[in-house]
Structure 1
Amino acid sequence: MGKLLPIIEGHFSIGDLLREAAERSIELGYVTETIPEIDAPAMSGMILAEEVQPGLLVSGFDLTYTAECRLDAKVERSVCCAVLLEGSGEPLEVQGHPPVTHEIEHVVIFGFGETKICTRPWHRGQHAKVFSVTLEPRFFERFGDMVADDGIAILERYIEPGVHSASLPWSRRIVDQAHEGLVAPYGGSLRSLFRESQALRFTLEVAALLQEEEQLIRKIGRRQYDRVRHARELLDRSLVEPPKLLDLARELGVNVSTLQANFKAAFGTTIFGYVRSRRLEMARILIHDHGLGIAEAGYRVGFTNAAAFTVAYRRHYGHPPSARR
């Protein structure tokens, strides 16, 4: 327990990371052409890394980089589930594998079936907020023969020989848990229990999403699933002014009726219902987390009439937008 880096906050250098890593037998390399001294300030913010159970590691950071540099890391056999919450991240360069990109608020799974060297570059002024959970082989070994054909079994496949990666569909629960996982509301042993519970909850949600995705692929086929997932991603990018159904179907290369049927089979709602639900969810965040007025929040998510927004909100949540539940 206690492997990796402790919580670091403030301004620090690459040297700080290397010294902490050396104390914990973590192999890190350092490559840069723009910082003359390894102890020169390179970033500011917060870094978290902690082994909360044997083979279960939680890590994350909320950083603004103050210099151009690259960090090499030797990664042993493991699977990492990471989500970029804010900012931007450069593609992860993996030895012998195409670069792995991050899409904001989507979990990216990196599976290493063997030891690999990974490189993460960053740029001056770049900001990134990331939460991740890493599972080592000994985490899966505890289940023994109890690992069935479920999400945990799917995660375990990512540590089979080779390098594997995948991006999961957007999930509000996973995003919320990732934000919570970077918060430490307790101290001492309570903080350790909190970190452990957050890592397990996050892992559970990722495993459940993997299982759900696999079941949907079996139900409607990989090709149709990829299409409706792409449709959902296109809708998420333009919720205020979503594309017309005919235009969406044309872009995906499928007719409207097939797209509607497969979308409902995959996600349990119509395309119109999905767009409205996501709009109302965005409005709820704008009102209760960012303090916007009801009419302004409704307008921001595409409602031109405050009364219509209030009616839709009440129907969806069971209470008016002025009441927080």
Structure 2
Amino acid sequence: MIAETLSQNLVTYDAGVDRVENSVARGLMLAKQVQPGLFASGYDLKYLVDVRLEVEETPSIFCGVLISGDDGELDISGYGSLTLPRSCPIVMGFGGGARCIGNCRAGTHCAGAGFRLYPSFFESIRDEEEGVQLEPLRAMLTDAFMLRWLPPSARLIELARLSLGNPYVGALSRLFLQGCALAFIAETARLLAEHDSDDDAPSHGLSEVEYERVMALTKIIDDSIVDPPSLAQMGRSAGINTTTLTRQFRQVHGVTIFEYIRNRRLELARDLLRSRPMQVSQVGYLVGFGNPAAFATAYRRRYGFPPSCEKVAAGRI
């Protein structure tokens, strides 16, 4: 149903990402097989109407992380509902299949990425040591349904962002996407092995109150990303000193508040450069950079090329 609902009027990018432009949602979708049994998946969508999404899961493993937007709600038939908070990676094993239902509200925006593995992926592994190290992942298929939360991981968040922001075209884009997916698998297997426990709660080292406080602050930042409150204002709003606030924010997101704001601005700029007929300098000012030189420098450091290259690439779409 997701494909039937969202895949109308898709424009396929050479980087392997599809742009959704219809009456239901707008943004980007990623669902590409990068090698047998391994799919890279992701989305960066704004929903224009209320949407009910249903997926009939076949035996597979899904791992992903929500990197922006409101917390997600997912109902898994026979196993109840769960909330998908930002920055906390989740691994779900559907050994027996299941029906997953999500409800997306009009006006909301969210983005996330990860991978999906099918049994054939593990069947193709011939290296014994590699098979042993991937066993924590393969074990997710040994029951009808298994759920594991992973601790916040800056590496997984960065890989999710890179998957959605693939800077290459043609064969290089496919290689890049495959590399991101395989790196996502490796890091997930490592985290599963290190944090092997039966505790289903997010393991970010904060109390529930502290975590909710950080997420409330994150929403304030996301809603005012062009002109966010100062660190002092954030501390007063949260009722704690700025040192504690900064430390707890990094525990949840894996980056400092300043880095988070800069990254979100650059992501917004990239989307504008790819989708709107605007000058590079105009985009920089629009997302909150004080001058074009600072914008170009920050963009190059994050993506490896200047923002002007996005305009050139957009002309090839």
Q: Same fold (TM over 0.5)?
A: yes
* TM-score under structure 1 length normalisation: 0.60
How far the C-alpha of 1:115 sits from its partner, in A, is 2.5
In the alignment, what sits opposite 2:168? Answer: 186
Q: Of the candidates 141, 164, 171, which is equivalent to residue 146 of structure 2?
A: 164
Q: Distance in 2 between matches of 1:100 and 1:200?
A: 27
Higher relative contact order (CA 8 A, sep 6+): 2
Is 1:95–2:95 an aligned residue pair?
Answer: no
Answer whether contact 1:112 1:159 (CA < 8 A) is retained.
Answer: yes
How far the C-alpha of 1:54 sits from its partner, in A, is 0.4
In structure 2, do the counterparts of structure 1 residues 135 and 201 end up closer, same or farther at CA, with 3 Å as the change threshold? Answer: same
In the alignment, what sits opposite 1:138? Answer: 120
Q: Distance in 2 between matches of 1:227 and 1:112?
A: 20
In the alignment, what sits opposite 1:65? Answer: 47
* TM-score under structure 2 length normalisation: 0.61
Name the amino acid aligned to 1:14: T
Q: Of the candidates 275, 282, 295, which is equivalent to residue 256 of structure 2?
A: 282
Q: Distance in 1 between matches of 2:249 and 2:77?
A: 43
SS across alignment from 2:138: helix
Identity %: 26
In the alignment, what sits opposite 1:41? Answer: 23
- Give the paired residue count: 232
In structure 2, do the counterparts of structure 1 residues 119 and 146 end up closer, same or farther at CA, with 3 Å as the change threshold? Answer: same
How far does the alpha carbon of each residue in 1:169-192 deviate from its partner, in whole angstroms, 9 at most, with x for none? 111111111111111211111110
Q: Distance in 2 between matches of 1:276 and 1:91?
A: 23
In the alignment, what sits opposite 1:231? Answer: 206
Is 1:212–2:187 an aligned residue pair?
Answer: no
Answer whether contact 1:66 1:125 (CA < 8 A) is retained.
Answer: yes
How far the C-alpha of 1:135 sits from its partner, in A, is 0.7
In the alignment, what sits opposite 2:217? Answer: none
In the alignment, what sits opposite 1:14? Answer: 5
SS across alignment from 2:194: helix
Answer whether contact 2:70 2:108 (CA < 8 A) is retained.
Answer: yes
Name the amino acid aligned to 1:64: K
SS across alignment from 2:24: strand
Q: Distance in 2 between matches of 1:288 and 1:44?
A: 23
In the alignment, what sits opposite 1:155? Answer: 137
How far the C-alpha of 1:89 sits from its partner, in A, is 4.4
Q: Distance in 1 between matches of 2:254 and 2:101?
A: 39
In structure 2, do the counterparts of structure 1 residues 96 and 198 end up closer, same or farther at CA, with 3 Å as the change threshold? Answer: same
Superposition pairs of residues 24-39 of structure 1, within 5 angstroms: none
In the alignment, what sits opposite 2:15? Answer: none
In the alignment, what sits opposite 1:55? Answer: 37
How far does the alpha carbon of each residue in 1:92-113 deviate from its partner, in whole angstroms, 9 at most, with x for none? 2222112232010111111100
Answer whether contact 1:85 1:105 (CA < 8 A) is retained.
Answer: yes
How far does the alpha carbon of each residue in 1:275-325 deviate from its partner, in whole angstroms, 9 at most, with x for none? 59759941551686579xxxxxxxxxxxxxxxxxxxxxxxxxxxxxxxx99
How far does the alpha carbon of each residue in 1:199-254 deviate from its partner, in whole angstroms, 9 at most, with x for none? 0011111111111113xx5xxxx78x97975536665555757989xxxxxxxxxx
In structure 2, do the counterparts of structure 1 residues 277 and 191 end up closer, same or farther at CA, with 3 Å as the change threshold? Answer: closer
Superposition pairs of residues 69-80 of structure 1, within 5 angstroms: 69-80=51-62
How far the C-alpha of 1:163 sits from its partner, in A, is 0.8
In structure 2, do the counterparts of structure 1 residues 195 and 40 end up closer, same or farther at CA, with 3 Å as the change threshold? Answer: closer
Q: Distance in 2 between matches of 1:164 and 1:122?
A: 24
Is 1:128–2:110 an aligned residue pair?
Answer: yes
Q: Distance in 1 between matches of 2:187 and 2:88?
A: 13
